[in-house]
C-alpha cells in the first residue's frame, strides 16, 4: 500500500506540535514547508551577522521529526552563556548555520542535520532567497520584519490588512522548487497551526506557492489556532481565521480542525493580560456546508501554556485520513 503524502505548511511552535504528533503515524510520508522570515532572537542575530537564512523554525521541525527528540532538544536548544560572541545562541542554530556554510547550501545543511538526528520526513525552506516580511495595516502603516510584527502595538486599533515580502539583494523571490513539487504531489496538505500572518501567510506570499496550492489535487486541511494574538488576530473567531487564509490562498479549504476544549479560567485570565482570547467556533450552517469541520478536545496546557496537544492532534488527523 502506497504511503499517504502529507505536506505541512507553517512555522514556529505550531509546526513543532503538529510534526511531533505526525512523526509516529504509520504509512505516511511527511514533507514540511517552513517559513523563512523569522528575525528575532538567536535566529535574527545569525541572519543579520552572517547573511544566512533563518535557522530557528527549521530546527524546531527537525527536532519534532527526530526519534531522539527529547535528548536532542536538551542538547541543541541549550544556549551558550560564557563566550561573548556565542552568548544567547543555541547549539542547534549554530550547528545548522555551520553545516549550511560548509556545504554552501541551506537546504543541504538541513539535510545533513536531518541525517544526524535521523529525522522521519523532509524539511524544506519555502524559499532560499533572503527577504523581509512586511505587514500593511488598515491605516496604511507598514511594519518591517517578523519580530517587529510580533510585538503588540499598544493601543493601535489598526489590524493587519496584508503581508508581503521585500527581497534583500537578488531583486526577486521565488519558491524553492522542491516546495512546488511537494504541494503538487501531496495527498493531504495541512496548513497551521501557527501565527496566521507571520508563520502561515508568510509562506503563501512567496511567489509560486499560492499558484501551486490552487492547482493541487490534494485535500487541504487547516488547523485553527486555539488563542488569538493581539496585533495579528485580535477579536478573530474560527471563521475569521479561515476566511483570511482562504483569501490568501485564493481558494476554499476542504476541512478545518478546531479545538473545542476551553482552558481553565486562571489561564484565560493570564492570556487576557496579553489581550489574547480563546478562539470560538460558531455554528454557521451556511459556512460549514462547503467545508468539513472537525471539533475536538486538542488542548495541552502543561507549563501554563495553551497549545495543541501533539498526540491528540495526530490521532484526529489519522482518523481523518482513514475516513
Give me the residue spans of the domains in the chain.
Answer: 4-26+174-322, 36-125
In the chain, count H helices and then E strands: 14, 12
Chain segment 160-177, per-residue pLDDT in tens: 999 999 988 767 899 999
Give the global pTM: 0.92
The predicted pLDDT at position 113 comes to 95
* Residue bearing the bigger pLDDT, 70 or 193: 193
Measure the CA–CA gap between 228 and 240, rounded to whole angstroms: 11
Residue range 41-64: mean pLDDT, rounded:
70
* Cα–Cα distance list, 11 to 61, 194, 253, 274, 308 (Å): 8, 6, 19, 21, 14
Q: Alpha helix (H) ranges present in the chain?
A: 12-22, 41-50, 56-64, 69-76, 91-103, 106-117, 146-150, 177-185, 202-204, 209-215, 238-249, 265-272, 285-288, 310-322
The predicted pLDDT at position 148 comes to 83
Measure the CA–CA gap between 169 and 116, rounded to whole angstroms: 32
The predicted pLDDT at position 1 comes to 65
For the chain, the farthest-separated pair of C-alpha atoms sits apart, in whole angstroms, at 59
Q: How many CB atoms lie within 10 A of CB 86?
A: 14
Q: Which residues of 65-79 are buried (b: 16+ CB within 10 A; e: fewer)?
A: bbeebeebbeebeee
Residue range 33-45: mean pLDDT, rounded:
71
- C-beta separation of 258 from 274 below 8 A: no
pLDDT of residue 41 exceeding 80: no
Residue range 266-276: mean pLDDT, rounded:
94
* Residue bearing the bigger pLDDT, 152 or 304: 304
Residue range 83-108: mean pLDDT, rounded:
87
pLDDT of residue 50 exceeding 60: no
Per-residue pLDDT band at 51 (split at 50, 70, 90): low
Measure the CA–CA gap between 306 and 82, rounded to whole angstroms: 33
Per-residue pLDDT band at 101 (split at 50, 70, 90): very high
The predicted pLDDT at position 55 comes to 76
pLDDT of residue 84 exceeding 80: no
The predicted pLDDT at position 152 comes to 61
Containing 123, the helix (H) or strand (E) segment is strand 122-125
Measure the CA–CA gap between 43 and 56, rounded to whole angstroms: 5
For 221, list phi and psi in degrees, rounded to 5. Answer: -115, 130
Chain segment 185-201, per-residue pLDDT in tens: 999 999 999 999 999 99
The percentage of the chain sitting over the pLDDT mark of 70, rounded to a whole number, equals 92
pLDDT of residue 273 exceeding 80: yes
Chain segment 229-255, per-residue pLDDT in tens: 988 899 999 999 999 999 999 999 999
Residue range 29-47: mean pLDDT, rounded:
75
The predicted pLDDT at position 215 comes to 97
Structure-block grid coordinates of residue 232: 495579528
The predicted pLDDT at position 48 comes to 53
- Average pLDDT across the chain, whole number: 90
* Residue bearing the bigger pLDDT, 77 or 187: 187
Residue range 116-123: mean pLDDT, rounded:
96
Chain segment 209-229, per-residue pLDDT in tens: 999 999 999 999 999 999 999
CATH architecture of 4-26+174-322: 3-Layer(aba) Sandwich (3.40)
Amino acid at each position: 500500500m502506497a504511503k499517504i503524502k502529507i505536506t505541512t505548511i507553517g512555522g514556529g511552535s505550531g509546526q513543532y506540535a503538529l510534526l511531533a504528533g505526525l512523526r509516529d503515524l504509520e504509512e505516511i510520508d511527511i514533507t514540511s514547508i517552513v517559513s523563512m522570515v523569522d528575525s528575532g532572537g538567536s535566529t535574527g542575530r545569525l541572519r543579520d551577522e552572517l547573511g544566512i537564512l533563518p535557522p530557528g523554525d527549521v530546527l524546531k521541525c527537525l527536532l519534532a521529526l527526530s526519534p531522539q527528540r527529547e535528548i536532542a532538544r536538551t542538547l541543541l536548544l541549550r544556549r551558550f552563556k560564557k563566550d561573548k560572541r556565542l552568548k544567547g545562541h543555541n547549539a542547534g542554530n549554530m550547528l545548522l548555520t555551520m553545516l549550511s556554510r560548509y556545504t554552501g547550501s541551506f537546504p543541504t545543511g538541513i539535510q545533513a542535520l536531518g541525517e544526524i538526528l535521523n529525522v522521519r520526513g523532509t524539511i524544506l525552506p519555502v524559499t532560499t532567497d533572503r527577504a523581509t516580511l512586511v505587514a500593511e495595516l488598515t491605516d496604511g502603516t507598514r511594519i518591517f520584519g517578523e519580530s517587529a510584527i510580533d510585538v503588540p502595538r499598544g493601543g493601535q486599533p489598526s489590524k493587519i490588512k496584508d503581508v508581503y515580502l521585500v527581497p534583500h539583494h537578488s531583486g526577486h523571490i521565488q519558491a524553492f522548487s522542491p516546495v512546488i513539487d511537494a504541494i503538487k504531489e501531496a495527498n493531504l496538505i495541512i496548513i497551521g497551526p501557527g501565527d496566521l500572518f507571520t508563520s502561515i501567510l508568510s509562506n503563501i506570499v512567496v511567489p509560486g506557492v499560492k499558484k501551486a496550492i490552487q492547482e493541487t489535487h490534494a485535500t487541504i486541511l487547516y488547523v485553527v489556532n486555539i488563542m488569538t494574538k493581539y496585533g495579528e488576530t485580535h477579536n478573530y473567531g474560527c471563521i475569521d481565521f479561515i476566511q483570511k487564509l482562504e483569501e490568501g490562498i485564493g481558494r476554499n479549504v476542504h476541512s478545518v480542525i478546531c479545538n473545542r476544549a476551553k482552558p481553565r479560567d486562571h489561564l484565560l485570565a493570564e492570556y487576557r493580560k496579553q489581550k489574547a482570547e480563546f478562539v470560538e467556533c460558531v455554528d454557521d450552517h451556511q459556512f460549514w456546508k462547503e467545508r468539513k469541520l472537525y471539533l475536538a478536545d486538542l488542548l495541552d496546557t502543561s507549563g501554563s501554556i495553551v497549545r495543541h496537544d501533539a498526540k491528540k492532534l495526530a490521532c484526529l488527523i489519522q482518523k481523518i485520513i482513514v475516513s
